[in-house]
Amino acid sequence: MPVLVTGGAGYIGSHTVLELVGRGEGVTVLDDLSTGFDWAVPEAAELVVGDVGDAAFVQRLLEERGITEIIHFAARSLVAESVADPLGYYLGNIVKTRVLIQAAIKAGVMRLIFSSTASVYGEPRVEIIGEDEPTVPINPYGRSKLASEWMLEDAARAHGLAYTALRYFNVAGADPDGRSGQSSRIATHLIKVASQVAAGARPGLEIYGTDYPTRDGTCIRDYIHVTDLARAHVAALERLRAGGENLKVNCGYGRGYSVKEVVDVVKEVSGVDFPVTLSPRRPGDPACLVAGADRIRAELGWQPALDDLPTIVRHAIEWEKSLVRRKAKDWPEPRLVPATGGESI
């Protein structure tokens, strides 16, 4: 039976679909294309356009295709936007995830992999964040993901649904073979934006906040290559298939870089010395988020292959250059539909 990948036309979702079809898995992608792209879904997977929050539609899809496994990416995922539109995030990330979980239970789905975030930790008390640290998110995005984790935990206890929640740190880079990358029209993640500047798609870069209690005053983040993260989803699915217990696990390398350090690497890799503007902090940004990364290796048997910041940056820049070269003809804008919660991560 096919694996259902919600939000599989988006950034992380499309890379995970590539990994699944590369292993010979049957894949059905459910995406409303509000932020995803139909061309990001490989021909070996089937794209179904629809809203993950449409209960009757999702129920019918699961039952007609006999789906027993779901990887759930569809969500809204911008921290600053969540602060400005908290109710939109609670609708898209909590209410619609509840619809999916309920449909999954009714349809007899056995396994669900959930796309969560390091934002559930809020302002951590420690430099390296383990999975057992308190979850006290400081923005609506993090709260919405934590509430979804609670729903999964309770539904699993009541109905026997097996799940794994993967808490992402900062995802960056692109498929090493150039098949997919981060293509959102609204870019806020540092490596994506800096790569756009290096590729000539933006005039300059802003650094938000230089007065954080860090080694150079800018935020520190743990950057994980999107292909390594996609492979972690496949490993999580294989673990559940083998009877593994429910799990919440960090996805990162266990090493952090400051914003200024990342900018320096982008300049070095690209050979472009672009302008940088220093601006005030954005609301909702913690000073430091670095993953405790032991559990993902021990539980999933996951071994990252692309744990190298210059490699992550190089793949991101190559993707941006390909978008610049091909945008007018080969990379059409996505179909515009209301952003109602089926957005693609």
The Cα 186–Cα 247 span in angstroms is: 32
Rg, the chain, Cα only:
19
In sequence order, which ranges of the chain are alpha helices (DSSP H)? Answer: 11-22, 55-65, 79-84, 86-89, 96-107, 140-159, 190-198, 226-241, 259-270, 294-300, 309-330
Picking from 181, 71, 165, the residue whose alpha carbon sits closest to that of residue 118 is 165
Phi and psi at 99, nearest 5°, equal -55, -45
Does residue 11 carry a catalytic annotation?
no
Among residues 11, 89, 90, 141, the one annotated as catalytic is 141
The Cα 194–Cα 202 span in angstroms is: 8
Q: Distances from the Cα of 129 to the Cαs of 10, 42, 195, 291, in angstroms?
A: 27, 35, 28, 5
Calculate ∠ Cα 197-199-204, nearest 5°: 15
Q: Distances from the Cα of 270 to the Cαs of 218, 243, 267, 288, in angstroms?
A: 22, 45, 5, 26
Phi and psi at 270, nearest 5°, equal -85, -25
Calculate ∠ Cα 294-296-302, nearest 5°: 110
| Catalytic center residues | 141
